[in-house]
């Protein structure tokens, strides 16, 4: 099974927001899009769906951004995948309305794949959003840093400072001869 790009990006947004909890300013759609190399407009659509599920709060304007509403210790990967995947039909015979397989009812493929899909979702139900952010045993994580979110660097997790126009230096008077 392969998850859709929509689910992949949804997971990235939720993980990024969870990783940024406690920051003075919340992460923005633009910040997350830049950190992951994702289209800002595509990510905006995903954020609105995640907010519709009650997992994110969005605030517009200066000082606005995204805040995780769901408890990362109770939001499971299985729940996210079920809500963001358009369907979990591995094969045609899973959908009774569009099934045209002539072997339906005679083969055991549907049962075997159904069992595998249930095992897959059960495994994902055992993983929470906070579990995804826990440093791995091999990482040299320092308290408060998230090196395992590569390619998101710590610099990217901090909101960029506002750009200030350079101050012009006073010109010296030129002596004329």
Instruction: List, as one string, the DSSP characters of 109-126.
Output: HHHHHHHHHHHHHHHHHT
Q: Are 18 and 129 in contact (CB under 8 A)?
A: yes
pTM: 0.72
Ranges of residues in the chain with a pLDDT under 70 are 90-93, 96, 134-177
Q: Are 57 and 48 in contact (CB under 8 A)?
A: no
**What is the pLDDT at residue 147?**
40
**What is the pLDDT at residue 110?**
77
Q: Give the helix ranges, DSSP H, for the chain.
A: 5-19, 29-36, 40-52, 77-84, 109-125, 129-133, 154-157
Name the percent of the chain lying above pLDDT 90: 41
Which residues lie across from 59 on neighbouring strands?
65
Give, in order, the Cα–Cα distances in Å from 146 to each of 22, 23, 55, 149, 158.
Answer: 13, 13, 22, 6, 12
**What is the pLDDT at residue 97?**
76
């Amino acid at each position: 099974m392969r998850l859709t790009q929509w689910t992949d990006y949804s997971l990235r947004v939720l993980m990024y927001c969870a990783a940024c909890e406690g920051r003075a300013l919340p992460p923005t759609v633009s910040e997350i899009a830049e950190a992951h190399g994702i289209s800002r407009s595509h990510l905006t659509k995903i954020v609105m769906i995640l907010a519709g599920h009650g997992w994110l709060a969005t605030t517009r304007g200066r000082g606005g951004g995204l805040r995780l509403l769901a408890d990362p210790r109770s939001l499971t990967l299985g729940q996210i995948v079920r809500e963001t995947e358009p369907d979990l039909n591995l094969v045609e015979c899973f959908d009774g309305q569009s099934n045209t397989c002539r072997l339906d009812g005679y083969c055991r493929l549907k049962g075997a794949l159904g069992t595998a899909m249930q095992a897959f979702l059960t495994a994902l139900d055992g993983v929470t959003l906070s579990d995804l952010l826990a440093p791995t045993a091999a990482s040299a994580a320092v308290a408060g840093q998230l090196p395992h979110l590569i390619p998101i660097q710590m610099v990217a997790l901090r909101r960029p400072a506002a750009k200030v126009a350079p101050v012009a230096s006073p010109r010296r008077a030129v002596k004329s001869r």
